[in-house]
Structure 1
């Protein structure tokens, strides 16, 4: 089927129409007034009429199709789209809840670990302080014991030295008389050229000691 306009029909050569008539093929002549001029069969005067959606004669069919379309869309929304959206939202809500629970659990574990670390640190500090105090006290006790031992040793050495000094002094004093007697005898011999009696020299030395 061909779309033939009036202009094409008017411009078509006459020989073509005759040829079509003789050959038995379909030919199109110019349409008469009031006849259809398109393959859809719509009259020419309807071409410049009202826009179909605003045509009051089609309101009923338009409302019917609107109701059908709305019903189909509503059923599609209720049965397919809404459940999928609801499922997605539920999944996200569940995932968020799980993430929040996991974060809370991890925070609780971290807080417990920090509390354990702080408790162990405090215990270690207490132990170190106790060890330091014990070591300090032990060092003091040892130093005190060492000091007392050294003082006792020095005291003993001092006593021994004093005893030896006393012995040396006593021996020295015991030898002074003999030395004095010998010295006096030698002096008398040098002075008078003779020998003095030991008894006289001893008596003289004893008298000198008493006078001293």
Structure 2
């Protein structure tokens, strides 16, 4: 930009009128500048004569960029950073909340599992006790029934034994009566019974 300003200043150099009726010509300095430019003169940005204009435009550009950055770019960047920071903070809060809910769910699950385990143990213990009581009751009932049947059986055996002994005594008496009658003659029933009874008493 400074170079263009220098070129514009060079093009606007004053015209010196000719003294001998010749055509007007440019000022000598301008001619030298053109000739120097054509023959390798100073590069315009490095020309000390253009430093004031370069500094002027540099200051203007710097101020414009500073205002642009301060008014537009930096607030946008700050807003983006704040939005990201807020989002990160929100995500951290949500993560902490989810972690707390997960921990609470785990504690609740463990408590429910422990309660279910205790309830199952109690039910099993109660069932075992109930079954044991039922078995004991049935065993006692069976033992009582067997004892009753055994008592009836023993009574029946005693009755059968008594009846059999009665029959045996009768048979023995009749047999004794028959044998004695065959050997020595007829004897009475009472005498034969007394003889059998005496023999039975002697055996016992």
Compute the TM-score of the two structures, normalised by the length of structure 1: 0.74
Residue 134 of structure 1 aligns to a residue whose secondary structure is helix
| Aligned CA-pair RMSD | 2.0
Structure 2 counterparts to residues 106-185 of structure 1, below 5 A: 106-185=98-177
Q: Displacement of 1:193 after TM fit?
A: 8.6
Aligned equivalents of 2:37, 2:183: Cα separation in 1: 194
Q: Displacement of 1:76 after TM fit?
A: 0.5
Which of 165, 171, 192 aligns to 2:183? It is 192
Structure 2: 5+ residue runs without aligned partners?
A: 1-24, 27-32
Q: Displacement of 1:118 after TM fit?
A: 1.1
Stretch deviating more after TM superposition (73-82 or 104-113): 104-113
Deviation track 1:132-185 (CA, whole Å, cap 9, x = no partner) reads 111111111111111111111111111111111111111222222111012223
Q: Which residue of 1 aligns with 2:57?
A: 65
Q: Which residue of 2 aligns with 1:207?
A: 198
Aligned equivalents of 1:187, 1:57: Cα separation in 2: 184
Q: Which residue of 2 aligns with 1:102?
A: 94
Aligned equivalents of 2:142, 2:188: Cα separation in 1: 56
Compute the TM-score of the two structures, normalised by the length of structure 2: 0.77
Alignment: residue pair count: 172
Return the structure number with greater relative CO, CA threshold 8 A, min gap 6: 2
Which of 47, 68, 85 aligns to 1:93? It is 85
Residue 43 of structure 1 aligns to a residue whose secondary structure is helix
Q: Do residues 46 (structure 1) and 37 (structure 2) align?
A: yes
Aligned equivalents of 1:175, 1:112: Cα separation in 2: 92
Q: Do residues 83 (structure 1) and 75 (structure 2) align?
A: yes
Aligned equivalents of 1:118, 1:94: Cα separation in 2: 36
Q: Do residues 74 (structure 1) and 71 (structure 2) align?
A: no
Deviation track 1:54-82 (CA, whole Å, cap 9, x = no partner) reads 11111111111111111111000000100
Residue 74 of structure 2 aligns to a residue whose secondary structure is helix
Structure 1: 5+ residue runs without aligned partners?
A: 1-33, 36-41
